[in-house]
Amino acid sequence: MADLYNIQNKVGKGGIRRKPVALMPEDPPTSTALEQSSPFLKQVSPVVLEQDADFPKSWPTRPELVKSSTISIITDIFIDTILLGLSLAFFTFGLIVRHYDQAPVALHEGTVKTLLEATKYGPSVFPILFACVLGRAAQAILAWRLESGERVGVCDLLASSTSLTSTVTSQIKLRMVSFLGFALILIWSLSPIGGQASFRQLSIGARIDNEPASFTYMIFGGRMEQYDTSDRTTSFGIINNLFATALISPTTTKRSPTDTWGNIKIPMIENYESLAFPDSEGWFTTNMSLNVYSSLVGIPMSSMDKTFINYEMNIETSYFNLNCSSVDDTLKSPVTKLPPGNFTGSGAQIWSTDNDAQRHDADANTLEPRQIGYQSWSPPVVASQCTMEMTYIEVKIHCDSPSNCAASKLRRSQQPHLPPAYILIDHDWAGWSQFAANLITAFPGHPTYTTVATSYIVEPNDPLTYVEAFTLPTTSSKPLTTELFEQRFGQLLNTYWTCLNEMHAVINGMTPTTAYMQGTNLSAQASQFFYANSSTTNGTRDATTPIMECNVGWVIALCIASAVMIIASLLHPIIHYFYTRGPDLMLNISSLAMRDNPYVAVPANGTFMAASDRARMLKSFKVRFGDVDQTSDIGRLAIGSLEPPGKYSVGTVSNRRLYY
């Protein structure tokens, strides 16, 4: 044996040189001890490694203790500290997100910006960090188990555990199913889970807090004397335009719970009382199929903005309700013998048989309903006599948002009111005269042509059908019954009445410059600007507050994955400094395949060197995995030297040759 591995070393100017050594002497010893010590030598063909390679001057020439250099120790401490710090950072990240769960964004703008920015990098940084930490820990465990003595299968599993894919595929190739293999797969699966958890654990949501609120809405005042001024022509010009806009608005708008300007329409309760059943408190729940709106222009409200949602409030309001006789469609000319309360417009006339002054001075409790009539003589021909009363209702309003409101419930008002026969027009001496005269002339035109108002009664979906039509329809889309006449004629009266009461508020809403309310400047002779009357009501609204929301499941996943990283980052220094005594090992060629390999021309000394030192010194040394016994009929595959070039022969692997 001494002759077999006898090596002469000499130190020269170029470094250490190794003389040629015969691995298999020409006359090998026949000692049984030699065969027992290395049985495979009996099968190896004689191979001579011409080891003339030059090696670095720093290659050790004498034995030394196994120890780590200062630079190596500092480097390891630095790397271990960085990896541990980053692992703790991800664990802390999850705890911080959990701490700020439900916190308002407005109060923590800087924190929110930082956390959201961190989530962008989590899916990329976490898997890289996880691979670094776990790979370093697996290498330390492998070195420890090799030094302590371990089964090759365990060492192979640890050596191949560099990623989730390699961990799975290596076990399939090795056909090794074990608890260790399952544990490694489970641990590596935390890498993508942790990356996704760092991104998905935080989001921006909304917290809804219900709080009390006060609302201002328009009420009808019946103050017609405000229009008895020199500029009433201009005022009624605005009102008539609002009236026309409401009548010719799209069908979807007419059927919508709000008007063109977003004001809330009020359904007629009479339709519900005849077709639906109230609850124990008298409330009817509104239904689109039962809604017949009292006016095409709704009630404006204030105190609603985009900051809040889900408004709830109750309001008290009123509208004109008609009870008419059968509709007469035979009158072809205007009725000439009518009371002084008669007013004629284009193709139609309206009248009242009641005396305005007498109704104004009378006891409200003794009044009978006001008697009114309507007649048109241009096609379509309609005429009817009606009684006119007030309906007072309480309406529950719900708004999903400031622009999406609707009456959700309604019932008869529970508050005290004047008798229904005393209508709001009767508040003024000439209330009816002002109202009727301007309503019937709202659409000027030829005396014998029908107007949009009359056409609306017959064809509400297309009020322009009969206006100056050359070929008039013979029948309407739906026969005009007394009930339909009451509803549609009532809508005309209520729409015009609403425009009179809120000329500016109908467009701009309830503000101190459009209505008498808190903040209105009463010293500016506001009456000349036709301000709307208002009332306040208490209700509720939901405040939407942007908040940070943490997904607890993803936070737990991140903390578990980060905890595994923290433990793994501690394994390397603990094992390295307390459990291993040998030099550092790397999963590389210079550390494992070239250490005391008889086919590699490397001096036998220097086994105590750290893996990093060996790798640095041997980085230019050429080796090959191939046939190290090309002279025999049957080859042998191993890693062998190609240095210096031409001195050693390690053949390439061939699929036409047999190998041991």
pLDDT digits (tens, 9 = 90+) for 309-335: 899 999 999 999 999 999 887 776 777
Neighbouring residues of 69: CB distance < 8 A, sequence distance ≥ 6: 610, 613
Instruction: Give the span between the Cα atoms of 503 and 220, in whole angstroms.
Output: 12
For residue 4, is pLDDT > 90? no
Q: How far apart are CA 406 and CA 312, in angstroms?
A: 10
pTM above 0.85, yes or no: no
Of 334, 338, 365, 333, the closest CA to residue 351 belongs to 338
In this structure, of 227-236, 384-393, 460-469, 647-656, the range with the lowest mean pLDDT score is: 227-236
Residue 348 and residue 331 in contact, taking contact as beta carbons nearer than 8 Å = no
21 and 7 in contact (C-beta within 8 Å)?
A: yes
Q: CB-based contacts of 578: which residues, under 8 Å, 6+ apart? A: none
More confident residue, 149 or 569: 569
Examine the pLDDT at 362 and tell me if it is beyond 70: yes
Whether omega before 369 lies within 30 degrees of 0, making that bond cis, reads no
Average pLDDT, the chain: 82
- Taking residues 178-199, report their average pLDDT: 89
Q: How many residues does the chain have?
A: 660
**Is the omega angle on the peptide bond into residue 127 within 30 degrees of 0, that is, cis?**
no
User: pLDDT at position 473, please?
Assistant: 54
Which range of 27-31, 143-147, 169-173, 383-387 scores highest in mean pLDDT? It is 383-387
Residue 27 is predicted with a pLDDT of: 40
Encoded tokens for 26: 């020409």
Per-residue pLDDT band at 26 (split at 50, 70, 90)? very low
Q: How far is CA 33 from the centre of its chain?
A: 78
In this structure, what DSSP letter does residue 634 have? S
- Domain locations along the chain: 9-66+583-641, 70-201+551-578, 218-266+289-305+318-388+426-541
- Per the listing, tokens 């470094």 go with 15
Residue with more model confidence, 332 or 241: 241
Report how far residue 28's alpha carbon sits from residue 22's, in angstroms, rounded to the nearest whole number.
10
579-612, pLDDT tens digit by residue? 887 777 766 677 777 777 888 877 767 777 777 7
Residue 633: partners with Cβ closer than 8 Å, 6 or more residues away: 658
Q: In this predicted structure, what is the pLDDT of residue 350?
A: 93
Is the predicted pLDDT of residue 113 greater than 80, yes or no? yes
Contacts of 294 (CB under 8 A, 6+ apart): 265, 266, 267, 268, 319, 320, 391, 490, 491, 494
Q: Are 452 and 464 in contact (CB under 8 A)?
A: yes
Angle between helices 431-440 and 482-501 in degrees, nearest 10? 110
Give the pLDDT confidence score for residue 144 in this predicted structure: 84
